[in-house]
Chain A
Amino acid sequence: MSWEAVIGLEIHVQLRTETKMFCRCPNRYGDPPNTNVCAVCLAHPGMLPVANRVAVDQALRVGLALGCRIPARSKWDRKNYFYPDSPKAYQISQYDEPLCAEGSFTGVRITRAHLEEDAAKTIHIGGGDGRIAGSGASIVDFNRCGTPLLEIVTEPDLRGGAEARRFLTLLRATIVATGASDCDLEKGSLRVDANVSVRRSGDEELGVKCELKNMNSFRFIERGIAAEIRRQAALLEAGEPVLQATLHYDPASDSLSVLRTKEEADDYRYFAEPDLVPVEPSPAHLEALAAALPELPLVRMDRLRAAHGLPDATAESLALTPGLADYFEELAALAGDARAAANWVMGEFSAHLNASGSDPHASTVTPARLAGLIALVAEGAVSSTGAKQVFAAMIDDPADAAALTERLGLGQVGDTDALGAIVDEVLAASPAEVAAYRGGKVQLIGFFTGQVMKASGGRADPKAVQSLLRERLGG
């Protein structure tokens, strides 16, 4: 039996603002507990929220970047629930009129993206392992309470863990490019929940879905989804039902545990927030926001492919790392050879950045210096193997490529006289092979070439060697 997974994502993004969503306490990560709080975000009686202009704009930037329709009007709603991380006993969110409506990103339909406020942070103490079950008490820090959050919901258009990971990688790079968030999974400024269901291949009807909560790296999201697909497929294979549940994925054991089963549908009793008025972004304002967006990764990917003829994977990987893509474009322009520039940037240069932890433009190997090396290779003045050694030397030595090639003795022996002498020596030392070659074993050309390369210390130009050999051997 073959099974198909159907996956939709809910992504929470903390927006980059100076203040909270509905009050003017600082929106800052890592401050001492309960220092960025006021009567509004602590829900003291009679306090009134006022929405943050910049938070609205940040959300609109993301909506525009994801190709969302921006309705003429959106409004606020109360989502009612009791939990100590929500002192009002409701969260201000958007229910039926979100700020950003349907969109499309990398072929995945976006259902909506709406603004809301984040909850406080609770720490569970006295229970031994820090988990909720059996804990002695919870300590609440309201610094995060009321900070602006954008919830992005996708349609169930994804079909596997790897696809979800790629989607999220591109989504994150896009949101980061808009400046709306730093999307740091470790700090919780990007949080992902995945709804996963499995059905028979070819079926139209969706299976029962389970929700995977709060996975904290894209790698674990990919693996968690894959594990959940296997779990559900095994149940269905055995003729057992999948029960709707919220699950936690444990990367260490690659297994899932049930956090809670859904015995009863959530009942949040949404109603319109009477303390806030609707938001109606003007067309002129939306145009200005759209015009001010930088080139987004997907656009850049297409441009890198079209302008430089880069393969898809290279274009994607460069577009995801803007600093490296800038470096590449500068290098390609200077070197006049995009293919060589891409090979260096993706190969030696990336390895050097990884090893040194350096930023592309902080590297001692500037685009101009690397372009100089690419030119030497193109002229045949250094072999591609030799060029790698020159590159390694360039990292710590400010001399230019030509000087380093010379100093390292890697200059390719291209002139016919010097090379001719080496060729003559090699041929003289191998009379049997020479006779065999002349007798028809022409594949021995490889053997001779190897000998000459060895005798030249790798500095000979293989093409020149072969043509000299053919000449001498009367080929």
Chain B
Amino acid sequence: MAHYDSAMALSDSDVRHVARLARLGLHEDEVAPLRAELETILQHVSAIAELDLAGVPVTSHPLELVNVLADDIPIACATRDDALANAPDRAGDGFRVPPIGA
């Protein structure tokens, strides 16, 4: 993971990399505006870096809960037809998707 702690300067290739990871097809003329927008977001978040957070554990959610676990007992599933009802495409009993890795 890249760190943007001080300068917040993003390069065009950072923007293209993030777009690729998100499977976004960007036009060349979209890169520069998005870079500016992303830099604004990072600057906003970077306010946190000004605080002394040593000793503050990373928080993934605000709840003081641990060990929320479910018993291992099956409950009724969706029917296959319900499951497939929203599929963009189906083939027999399965979800049909475009060929992978083409």
Complex CA distance for A274 and B83, rounded to whole angstroms = 26
Question: How many interface residues does B have (CB within 8 Å)?
Answer: 37
B-binding residues in A (CB < 8 A): 17-19, 24-26, 32-39, 42, 50-56, 73, 75, 80, 82-84, 122-127, 132-142, 267, 269, 272-274, 276-280
Rounded to whole Å, the gap between the CB of B8 and the closest CB of chain A is 18
Select A272's contact among B60, B67, B73, beta carbons within 8 Å: B60
Kindly state the separation between the CA atoms of A125 and B90 in the bound complex, as whole angstroms: 13
3 shortest interchain CB distances as A-B pairs: A272-B60, A139-B94, A54-B72
Bound complex: CA of A138 vs CA of B100, how far in Å? Answer: 7
B54, CB-defined interface residue at 8 Å:
no
Given contacts A34-B84, A272-B58, A279-B67, contact A18 B74 (CB under 8 A): yes
A141:B67 contact, CB within 8 angstroms: no
A38 touches B71 (CB 8 A): no
Cβ < 8 Å to A, chain B residues 81-102: 83-84, 91-102
In the bound complex, what is the Cα–Cα distance between A125 and B75 (angstroms)? Answer: 32
Residues in B with CB closer than 8 Å to A18 are 72-74
Give Cα distance in the complex from A80 to B22, angstroms. Answer: 9
Chain B hits for A135, CB < 8 A: 99-100, 102
Q: List, in ascending order, chain A residues with CB within 8 A of B80's CB.
A: 32-35, 37
Interface of B is mostly: loop
The contact of B21 among A33, A73, A267, A276, by CB within 8 Å, is A267
- Contact status of A24 and B73, CB under 8 A, knowing A32-B93, A73-B66, A277-B66: yes
Are B69's CB and A137's CB within 8 A? no
Give the CA-CA distance A84 to B23 in the complex, in Å: 13
Complex Cα gap A50–B75 (Å): 13
Task: State in angstroms the CA–CA spacing of A84 and B71 once bound together.
Answer: 29
- A140 to B98 Cα, complex, angstroms: 11
Nearest-CB distance from A28 to chain B (Å)?
A: 9
Q: Which listed residue (B63, B93, B101) contacts A133, Cβ 8 A? A: B101
Which A residues lie within 8 Å of B75 (CB)? Answer: 24
**Does B48 belong to the interface (CB within 8 Å)?**
no
Report the separation of the CA atoms of residues A17 and B71 in the bound assembly, to the nearest whole angstrom: 10
> Which residues on the A side are within 8 Å of B21 (C-beta)?
80, 267, 269
By the criterion CB–CB under 8 Å, are A34 and B83 in contact?
yes
